[in-house]
Homo-oligomer: A and B are copies of this chain.
């Protein structure tokens, strides 16, 4: 097992202000996309796993869920397409981590309701 350059892919939270509007058609669409991505138990659990560990998680996500590898991979893709997570290739494996900016955006949009 390699040390893995996991620390590379998890960006520091970087609290640069988010200037995007919190209302309007575009914000609505954004919220819908983000919420839809979160709208599945498996994906909520994946997010929880990634949030809990500040470091990146390589693949062991599959072991924590009662789902086939291909299914988990699909859920990861959904989250990635929504921008909520990022996957960094690290040798033979892939390291996933939260995209803090998107998660913060989701929180802001929901809080704005």
> Which of these binds chain B: A1-9, A10-18, A35-43, A87-95?
A35-43
Contacting residue for A44 out of B28, B47, B51, B111, CB 8 A: B28
Number of A interface residues, CB 8 Å?
25
User: SS class of chain A's interface: helix, strand, loop or mixed?
Assistant: helix
CA distance A44 to B33 in the complex (A): 10
CA distance A29 to B111 in the complex (A): 20
Least Cβ distance of A54 to chain B in Å?
14
Residues of A within 8 A of B (CB): 23, 28-29, 31-33, 35-41, 43-45, 47-48, 51, 103, 106-107, 110-111, 113
**13 additional contacts (CB under 8 A) given A29-B41, A107-B110:** A23-B48, A28-B48, A31-B44, A32-B39, A32-B40, A32-B41, A32-B44, A36-B40, A38-B39, A39-B39, A48-B113, A110-B110, A110-B111
